[in-house]
């Protein structure tokens, strides 16, 4: 079984010899933020987790591939072993989180009704693509916006500002990939 973000953060923080207070100070967040994450009382957004990891310093990719002393990861992953890099409204389930030196990032994404990736447009190196498996999603890439339905797909350069929004009353499910991996 995979290790939750909360447990993973605690193990990594301790391996780096940092107290919760020291990590919070380095990351520019409150001590309570670190404590709540490690107690699994809050699920940090990707941007919040990135900010916390800046205090180590460590990228998201390093965080999810850091050797915690576990055995070699399997080539197969059960649905409950995919860590959620998002939150409850926008779930970003990462495939292969324990694989070192991944060349791509594959995610199974769930957008609950009227959820989105945030007011700030996303932007990072690489390319990404995906297929809508269920429901519909509004995707903005640069100045172009389109609503995709089940079976529709997208592919674009990730350095273009982009955003995902579920404007419907139903859950939307997307399977996506990006390369190089950003998490």
Can you give 44-98 as a three-state secondary structure string? CCHHHHHHHHCCCCCCHHHHHHCCCCCCCCCCCCCHHHCCECCCCCEEEEEECCC
Q: Cα separation of 67 and 99, whole Å?
A: 9
- Number of DSSP helices (H) and strands (E) in the chain, helices first: 5, 8
Q: Cα separation of 97 and 82, whole Å?
A: 7
Predicted local distance difference test score (pLDDT) of residue 2: 41
Contact assessment for residue 34 and residue 1, using Cβ atoms and an 8 Å cutoff: no
Band of pLDDT at residue 170, cut at 50, 70 and 90: very high
> Strand 127-134's sheet: what is its strand order?
90-95, 105-111, 172-179, 127-134, 153-157
Question: Does 70 score more than 60 pLDDT?
Answer: no
Band of pLDDT at residue 69, cut at 50, 70 and 90: low
Q: What percent of the chain has pLDDT over 70?
A: 93
Contact assessment for residue 63 and residue 181, using Cβ atoms and an 8 Å cutoff: no
Band of pLDDT at residue 63, cut at 50, 70 and 90: confident
Q: Which residue has the higher pLDDT, 74 or 63?
A: 63
Q: Cα separation of 183 and 42, whole Å?
A: 20
Q: Which residue has the higher pLDDT, 63 or 147?
A: 147
Q: Which domains does the chain have, with CATH numbers?
A: 5-65 (1.10.260.40), 103-179 (2.60.120.10)
Q: What is the mean pLDDT of residues 20-25?
A: 91
């Amino acid at each position: 079984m995979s290790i939750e973000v909360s447990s993973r953060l605690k193990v990594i923080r301790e391996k780096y010899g940092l107290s919760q207070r020291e990590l919070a100070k380095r990351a520019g967040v409150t001590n309570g933020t670190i404590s709540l994450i490690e107690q699994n009382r809050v699920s940090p957004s990707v941007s919040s987790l990135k900010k916390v990891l800046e205090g180590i310093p460590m990228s998201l990719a390093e965080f999810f591939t850091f050797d915690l002393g576990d055995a070699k990861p399997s080539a197969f992953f059960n649905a409950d072993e995919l860590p959620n890099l998002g939150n409850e409204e926008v779930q970003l389930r990462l495939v292969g989180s324990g694989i070192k030196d991944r060349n791509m990032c594959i995610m199974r994404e769930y957008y609950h009704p009227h959820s989105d990736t945030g007011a700030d447009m996303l932007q990072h190196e690489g390319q990404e693509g995906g297929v809508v498996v269920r429901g519909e999603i509004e995707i903005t890439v640069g100045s172009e916006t389109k609503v995709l339905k089940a079976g529709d797909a997208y592919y674009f350069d990730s350095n273009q500002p982009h955003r995902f929004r579920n404007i419907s009353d139903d859950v939307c499910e997307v399977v996506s990939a990006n390369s190089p991996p950003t998490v």
